[in-house]
Copies of this chain bind each other. A is one copy, B any other.
Amino acid sequence: MDFGAQPSAPLDRNEKFARLRLIRSENVGPITFRQLIARCGSAIAALDHIPHMARRGGLSRQIRICSTDAAETEMQAARKLGARLLFWGEADYPSGLAAVDDSPPLIYVRGHPHLLQKPMLAIVGARNASTVGRKIAGDIARDLGQAGYVVVSGLARGIDGAAHAASLATGTAAVLAGGVDVVYPREHQTLYDQILESGVHVAELPPGIEPQARHFPRRNRIISGLSRGVLVVEANLQSGSLITARCAADQGREVFAIPGSPLDARALGPNRLIRDGALLTESAADILAALQSLDNRRIREPQGHGGISAPPAALPDSLLEEAHDIVTELLGPVPAGIDDLIRESGLLPAAVLTVLLDLELAGRAERHSGNRVSRLPD
């Protein structure tokens, strides 16, 4: 499979260190990170520029940049764990994840990183899974493993656990919501250790971070981003698995779902997905057949448009000041498409993009997937 072209220049030690500092700096998220690399050419240069940009964006105090000490401490923690850092843009960063528009600028990897080079498929579902649901998840995980797929999941109770356990022998990847060394839930310590032994752990957050509720949706985009498709086995209508399925669809990946009786609340999630276009799935063979038929085509384009648009390096300050006022005026709390914003502003695209980057760094605007942006309260 080919997820499309992506940059993969080798990064030297200094640039990696600067990238770690950049993503840990104030108001820099994954999309802003990419914009800054595209605009400034490197993280080293971006670290130099962002104080000025944030001030221009309206931040009255100095923007907080991650210190070299803090970055050094984080790197040391990773070394102690034997965890590898993979940076977006490096050749061994997983290609599926690299192709999504808000891929993590870096991920921590513990265990066997080479597994991330193989084709991957996610299996997710209810924590309070039924016996039958766990059996189905396990059967399909084993069959996908035998067909050469690494099975991705989230180390949760229920479906996740069953999927990991059944694919230990063939290769499994756990994407953690907290640090790569933080076992959640605690009772999965043994499973975590088994995956460390024969599989791979992946995390976006620094080592030692305990997962919090808000981390899980962000984590779910990585589960789907790594994978050619996501299978949802059991999920009620409030389940986070439906978020993972939506991420998959947004990222142009396949969504598979196991149907179930309408009288079982855990079937309502998959049933809804099927109604919305997910592939009704009864076995690994269904998944393999669908992926096979995709292999003859290119992977679908993601539904978002969020590629990198690099603004030119320099625009006159007077023009930027005027643009700043117009764009600030147009932005509201509801995310708006950047293309619409450019059209309504009547400004040069480059000017709008520069102003947006400034506003983001000033903490006054927020990027959303699908190339949208909203204003944050002052």
Contacts and interface: CB of A to CB of B under 8 A. Distances in A.
Contacts of A268: 282
A132 B264 CA distance: 10
Interface string A273-284: 011000011110
Copy count, this protein chain:
2
Contacts of A136: 261-263
Interface string A226-263: 00000000000000000000000000000000111111
Give the interface size class of chain A. 10 to 19
A32 interface: no
A159 interface: no
A280 B277 CA distance: 11
A359 interface: no
A269 to B, nearest CB: 12
Contacts of A280: 259, 271, 274-275, 280
A282 B273 CA distance: 13
Nearest to A263: B132
A142 to B, nearest CB: 15
A135 interface: yes
Interface in A330-369: none
Given A260-B260, A262-B281, A271-B280, 14 more contacts: A132-B261, A135-B263, A136-B262, A258-B261, A259-B260, A259-B261, A259-B267, A259-B271, A259-B280, A261-B261, A262-B283, A274-B280, A275-B280, A280-B280
22 contacts: A132-B261, A132-B263, A135-B263, A136-B261, A136-B262, A258-B261, A258-B262, A259-B259, A259-B260, A259-B261, A259-B262, A259-B267, A259-B271, A259-B274, A259-B280, A260-B260, A261-B261, A261-B267, A262-B282, A271-B280, A274-B280, A280-B280
